Amino acid sequence: MPGIRYAYKASLVGAAHLFELTDAGLSWRIAGKSGVWPYTDINAIRLSYRPVSMQSRRFRADIGNKDGGRIAILSTSWQSAALMAPQDQDYRAFITALHARLAQAGSRANLAGGLKPRIYAAAILLLALVATAMSGLLVRALATGEFAGALFLVGFAALFAWQVGGFVGRNRPLAYSFDHLPKALLP
């Protein structure tokens, strides 16, 4: 059976990161290093949504093996100094096929999605503090008749909720199974 391949450029300089699903396992080539991890040696996968300024739809898969090795696979690739191209279909196909190969091999990998629970809790706490501060500023602006300032705060809060709310909402910690990948964490 031919292997399924995926490649992306993590930066403008340097070679692409290359991955292939082979009968022997997950084959990878990153920064002059290469290897093959048998599917049974892969002990963890964490899927997450990681937008950046150049690409608001960027997803990430962190893969770990039993020897402590870690590989990150991103759904975007640098094309120029100002352009980061999405590779949604190829990334989704590769990650889905990887999970199928792991299930076929009888893997017992820990499948997690989103942020780690402590980081997520800290993010929620920070959001609550920002919301409290913004609410206090809005009440003060309305009480002093600063309607332009109040309008600015409402606009800023809407933009903040849209940007950060999407990130926090998609990255809620969860566990999933090989046959039910989290749709919010795949393009």
Q: What is the pTM of this model?
A: 0.85
Give the pLDDT of residue 129.
Answer: 95
What percent of the chain is modeled with pLDDT above 90? 74
- Residue 54: what pLDDT? 62
Annotated domain spans of the chain: 4-114, 117-167
Structure tokens belonging to residue 170: 């998609």
Q: What's the CA gap between 164 and 131, in Å, rounded?
A: 12
- Per-residue pLDDT tens for 29-51? 998 899 999 999 999 999 999 88
The Cα–Cα gap between 150 and 166 comes to 24
Contact 17, 75 (CB under 8 A): no
Between 54-58, 101-105, 153-157, 181-185, the lowest mean confidence (pLDDT) is in 54-58
**Residue 2 pLDDT class (50, 70, 90 cuts):** low
Question: Edge-to-edge strand order for the sheet containing 59-65?
Answer: 70-74, 59-65, 42-49, 110-113, 174-175
Per-residue model confidence as pLDDT tens digits over 75-107: 988 876 667 788 999 999 999 999 999 999 999
CA 96 centroid distance within chain: 15
Calculate what percentage of the chain has a pLDDT beyond 70: 96
Would you state the pLDDT for residue 182? 96
Quick check: 28 and 35 in contact, CB under 8 A?
A: yes
What average pLDDT score do residues 152-170 get? Answer: 88
Q: What is the CATH number of domain 4-114?
A: 2.30.29.30
